Structure 1
Amino acid sequence: MNAATIFVHGFNGGVGSTSHMISAAQHAGWAKQIMTATITRYGRISITGSEKMNVKNPIIQVLFENNRAPEFVQINWLHSLLILLKREFNVMEYNGVGHSLGSNDLVNEALMYGDDLRVPKLKKLVTIAGPFNGLRGFLHAKSVPALLKMDHRPSHQTRHFKRMLQYRDHFPKDVQLFNVVGKVDGYLDNDCFVSVNSARSVKYLLHGVLKDYRELLITGEEGYHCSLNHNPMVFNALNEFLWDDYATLPNMQTRNVPISASELNETNALASNVG
C-alpha cells in the first residue's frame, strides 16, 4: 500500500483549515480522502469514513476537538493516532501536511518519537507557516533578496527551539520536507502571525538530517497566514511535491513578489543559483 497522507490544522483551526488543500488534491486526481480522525478533548480517537486504505494516495484529515490544546498535548494525541493507524489499518508509511501549529505538531512528533517502531515510517512533510522558533524576528524588516540571503539559523533561539535541537538525532532518516513561508507586504517580515525567520528555521533545526529541503516564499496579500492554506499556488506545489515522482521543485521559490524590478531580478538570480 502506498503512503497515507495526514493533514493537521493549526491552533484554533478546524475542518476549513485543511479541507481546501484536500479538495484540490482530489479534484486534480492525485489522492482521495478516505478517513477523518477526530480526537476528542479527552484524547479519544474517533474514525469516520471509509476504512479501506487500498486506494491511490489515501488522505486522512485530522481534527482536534480542543483546537486550543497546548502543543505538547496535541503532539501526544498525534502520536497515539499514528500508532493506531499502523496497528489497526496497516499504514506502514505516511506523509504529513501541517498548517501553522499543525506543522510544529508533525515535526515535534517525529523528533520525539522518531525511533518508535509502533508508528509508520515518515516519508514526506509539508510545513506551512510553522512557528518553529516562536515569534522571534517578527518585527524585522528586510527586502526579499536580503531575506533569501539570510542563514536559516535563527540568531536568537527560543527555549522550545533549543529543546527541539536536542532531539534532532531521533528524527527519521530520508525524509523530504517542503516548507511554505509567507510575508505580507507592509507588515514587516511576517505573515501577520508568524515571522519569516521562525518559519524558515525548520531547515536549520533539521539540517544534516533531512534527505531534501525545498522552500516556497509567498509575499504580498497571498502571503497572509490564513491565506497560505487556501492558495492555489500552494496547492499545486504541494501536490507535485507529495505525489508527482517526475516533478523537480527548486530549492528556493518566490511567488507573487510585490517588489521593485531590480529587487525582483536579484531575487530570481538568487533562486536560480540555489542548488
Structure 2
Amino acid sequence: MTGILVGTIVARPVHAATVNTPVTLYLHGHHGGPNSMMALMASAEAAEHAHTVVTATVAPNGAVRLTGDWPVNTRRPLVKVVFENNQTLNYDLISSWLRNVLVALQQKYQVHQFNIVAHSLGNAAVLFYELHHSADPHLPRLDKYVAIAGNFDGIPGQHRDQHPNHTQPNGKPAWQAPPYRQALALRHRLSLAHTDVLNIYGDWDRQQHSDGKILNASSRALKQVLGNKVHSYRAMRFVGWQTQHSQLRLNPRVAMAVDQFLWPTHS
C-alpha cells in the first residue's frame, strides 16, 4: 500500500466518543441493505479492533435516523449507512442523502472529517457528494475513500450502447455515460487535496473485462474525474475467486486491502 497515507475522521460526539477518534462510513449499493457491508465491517472489527457504533438509516424523503451506542474512547468507530430506497438511480438524490447523513453526524457527534467505503452504486453517492460539496468548509471533509465495484461510467442495461467499452491510452473510457460527462464537467469543483483514494474492481469476466455487472472501464474511469485533485490514488484489480460484482464485498482479500489502506500496520 505504498504511497497511501493515513486518513482520519476527527469526531467529538456529545456524551460519547473523544476528540480525534477515527470514524469510517460503510455504504451499500443498488438493492443493498443493512447486511450488505457486514463482511467488510466484521473484518475491520476482527483485524483492526474497530467497532460498529452507529447505524444511519435514510428514509426515502431524506430524513436520517441515527441508532446505536458510541462508547467513550472507541478507537475506530464504524458507521453503517442504509438507504431505505435502495432502487433509485438518481445520483444527485443519493448524494443528497449522503450529505444528510454527514450533517446528522456532524450535528450530533461533531464529526468534521470522515473515511468512507462504498460498494457499487454507493460510489455514485460519494462522487457526486464530493463534486457538489467538497469545497464547502462547513461540511465534513473526506480523508480516505475506498471505492469497490464503482459504476462511474455507466451500467450495462441502463445506459444505451455501453457495450463494448474500454480504457483508451489517455486513460479516458472510450464511451462516456451522461452522468460521467456531468462528473467531468464538474471536476473543477473538487477540493480533495488531503484525500487518499483506493479504487478496487474485479476482473471476473476476463473476456469482457467486467465484474459480471460493471465493466472495468467504468470502474477505472474514476481516475479521470479525480485527476490531480487528490493527495493519492491507487487502483487494485482482483481476479479469480469471489471477484464477481456482489462477491467483491465478501472477498477476504478485498477486506484485507481495505483494512490495510484505512489502518496501516504502523498506525
- Which TM-score band (shorter chain)? 0.7 to 0.9
Secondary structure of 2:201 counterpart: strand
Give the structure 1 partner of residue 254 of structure 2: 234
Provide the residue aligned with 1:264 in structure 2. Answer: none
**Alpha-carbon deviation of 1:240?**
0.5
- 1:1-44 deviation digits (Å, cap 9, x = unpaired): 23311110001101221011001100113421110011112211
C-alpha contact 1:138 1:189 (8 A) present in aligned 2: no
Task: Quote the residue 2:203 is aligned against.
Answer: 183
Q: Report the alpha carbon displacement of residue 175 of structure 1 after superposing the two structures with TM.
A: 0.7
Q: Tell me the CA shift for residue 58 of structure 1.
A: 1.1
- What is the DSSP-based 3-state SS (H/G/I as helix, E as strand, rest coil) of the residue aligned with 1:78? helix
Q: 1:219 aligns with which of 218, 223, 239?
A: 239
**CA shift in 2, pair 1:165/1:220, >3 Å:** same
Report % sequence identity. 28
Amino acid at match of 2:39: H
**Could you give the per-residue CA deviations for residues 217-264 of structure 1, whole angstroms, max 9, x where no partner exists?**
1123422001100000001110000011649xxxxxxxxxxxxxxxxx
Q: 2:15 aligns to what?
A: none
Distance 1:167 1:138 in 2: 22
Alignment deviations for residues 101-149 of structure 1 (CA, whole Å, 9 cap, x no partner): 011111210111112223211101000010101037964499xxxx8x9
**Pick from 61, 72, 87: which aligns with 1:42?**
61
Contact 2:205 2:212 in 1 (8 A): no
How far apart in 2 are the matches of 1:116 and 1:54? 29
The structure where helix makes up a greater share of residues is 1
1:6 and 2:34 matched? no
Secondary structure at the aligned position of 2:37 is classed as helix
- Does the Cα contact within 8 Å between 2:165 and 2:175 map onto a contact in 1? no
Measured after TM superposition, the shift of residue 73 of structure 1 is 1.4
The answer to whether residue 87 in structure 2 is matched with residue 71 in structure 1 is no
2:17 aligns with: none
- SS state at 1:88 partner: helix
Query: How far off its partner does 1:150 sit?
Result: 4.9
Partner AA of 2:85 in structure 1: N
Q: Deviations over 1:138-194 (max 9, x none)?
A: 64499xxxx8x9543112222211111122132232210000011113551111110
Mark the CA change 1:135 to 1:41 in structure 2 (over 3 Å): closer, same or farther.
closer
Please, which of 217, 220, 235 is the counterpart of residue 197 of structure 1?
A: 217
Cα distance in 2, alignment partners of residues 220 and 139 from structure 1: 23
Give the distance between the partners of 1:240 and 1:111, measured in 2 at CA: 27
Structure 2 Cα separation of the partners of residues 150 and 129 of structure 1: 22
For 2:137 and 2:21, how far apart are their aligned partners in 1? 18
Aligned to 1:107: 127
- Tell me the equivalent position of 1:165: 184
Task: Please tell me the residue identity of whatever aligns with 1:157.
Answer: Q
Contact 2:57 2:66 in 1 (8 A): yes
8 Å CA contact 1:138, 1:194 repeated in 2: no
Aligned partners of 2:204, 2:170: CA distance in 1, in Å? Answer: 20
**Structure 1 length-normalised TM:** 0.81
Write the letter of the residue equivalent to 1:122: L
